[in-house]
Amino acid sequence: MVRVNKVSFQHAWPRATFFAAYGDTATGQWHPAQAVLDQGMVTLWILTPTGWAQAFSLPAAQARVSSATHRITLVAGGRTYPLLADQASVARANALTTAGLAASMLDLDTLRAWTHFARFANQGRAADAFAAAGGHEFLAAMRSSGASVSRTGYGAIMGIGCGCGLLIALGTLAIMVAVTMG
């Protein structure tokens, strides 16, 4: 409550919730979680076998937030808390990559093309899950609450991947030209 010239009004803090899965790095398991920003405090709730447990609660300005694709990582008190909007997309991506490699080894071009399409669709599904889980709103609210927030989206990651692929192709071409000329 703030008083200005004897008039009281509530301070409007941003509010947001990111519904996700917490990746427990000690056990390798995923647990339902909610990162909640309310009244300038960010709180992480994780569903355990005995019910919801509070992992931490601190002023938003003391938290660091990084995000890439459909993941948000909260850093609080020196500890990292990875949160995924769609943790099943990781398993799907691994399975599709394996299928694509097998298709390449077996020279099954149609199957390999379908795995590329399916990986692209999987990325789109994960991006939709991030939006539906409140990821964009949570990042914006954390930023406006004073938290250090960084975001790398799909475009930047794809650009980095394409750039690296182009460099490898040009490097391979340069080596092949050097070998044939010399």
Which residues share a beta bridge with 31? 22
Q: Are 20 and 33 in contact (CB under 8 A)?
A: yes
CA angle centred on 64, ends 61 and 67, rounded to 5°: 130
Q: Spell out the residues 6+ positions from residue 116 whose beta carbon is closer than 8 angstroms to its own.
A: 100
- Count of the separate structural domains present in the chain: 1
Which residues share a beta bridge with 17? 36
pLDDT value at 140 more than 80: yes
CATH number at residue 40: 2.30.29.30
CA torsion angle for 114, 119, 125, 126 (degrees, to 10)? 170
The answer to whether position 65 is within a domain reads yes
pLDDT of 13-32, one tens digit each? Answer: 889 999 999 988 888 889 99
What is the model's pLDDT at position 157?
A: 65
d(CA 24, CA 87) in angstroms, rounded, equals 12
The answer to whether position 77 is within a domain reads yes
pLDDT of 21-67, one tens digit each? Answer: 998 888 888 999 999 999 999 999 999 999 999 999 999 999 999 99
d(CA 65, CA 75) in angstroms, rounded, equals 6
Does the pTM exceed 0.85?
no
pLDDT value at 72 more than 90: yes
The answer to whether position 176 is within a domain reads no
The answer to whether position 22 is within a domain reads yes
Q: Which two tokens stand for residue 6?
A: 């004897």
The answer to whether position 115 is within a domain reads no
- E strand or H helix at 56: strand 51-59
How many CA atoms does the CB half-sphere of 101 hold within 13 Å? Answer: 6
Average pLDDT in the 136-150 region?
A: 93
Q: Which two tokens stand for residue 41?
A: 């405090």
Domain span including residue 45: 2-85+133-171
The answer to whether position 74 is within a domain reads yes
Q: Which two tokens stand for residue 54?
A: 């509070």
The answer to whether position 117 is within a domain reads no
pLDDT value at 169 more than 70: yes
The residue count for the chain = 182
Which residues share a beta bridge with 67? 72, 151
d(CA 182, CA 178) in angstroms, rounded, equals 6
Q: Which two tokens stand for residue 59?
A: 């002023």
The answer to whether position 150 is within a domain reads yes
pLDDT of 88-125, one tens digit each? Answer: 998 999 999 999 999 999 999 999 999 999 999 998 89
